[in-house]
Amino acid sequence: MKIDRVQRQLLSELQLNARVSNQELADRVGLSVSPCWRRVRDLETSGLIKRYVAVLDRRKLGLGTCVLVNLQLKTHDARVTDQVERHIHSRREIVECYALSGDSDYMLKVFLPDVESYAMFMHSFLLKLPEVATVRSVVALREVKHDTALPI
């Protein structure tokens, strides 16, 4: 999809603050209100803007521990991967999941209150998945960078 300069500006502004008023957004990108509104609607309709969300402070919600988990599967047929991915989608603690090439098949990003909670999650969920051969976990000590804005 080809994106023009104004679309890039609109997307950049909306990534920083999706609650900005249409008037303020129009002023920032140099458009009048109606064309600005139409262009944002076009970005939404095209699917370039997937949704609007609130970014929450996980620590204030009691989710102070971030664990990166690598899973290696026993087999790699479609039935197994579909089953594992259904299980992964069912758990709210897992906020991101990536299928990988290399030594691991999946990498998960898991947010929990503390390491003890992760131990319970690992033993009650991850290690009970019959398709999983190995689980390797790394606890993040601190968050150096977390940004939701894409480099457009």
Kindly tell me if the per-residue pLDDT of 90 is higher than 90. yes
- DSSP sequence for 77-126: -HHHHHHHHHHHHT-TTEEEEEE-SSS-SEEEEEEESSHHHHHHHHHHTG
Residue 30 has a CB neighbour count (10 Å cut-off) of 10
Q: Which domains does the chain have, with CATH numbers?
A: 5-45 (1.10.10.10), 65-139 (3.30.70.920)
Mean pLDDT of the chain: 96
What's the token pair of residue 90?
Answer: 């069912």
The string of pLDDT tens digits covering residues 97-130 is: 999 999 999 999 999 999 999 999 999 999 999 8
Q: Are strands 94-99 and 65-73 parallel, antiparallel or unpaired?
A: unpaired
pLDDT one-digit tens code per residue, 16-50: 999 999 999 999 999 999 999 999 999 999 999 99
Q: What is the Cα 93 distance to its own chain's centre?
A: 12
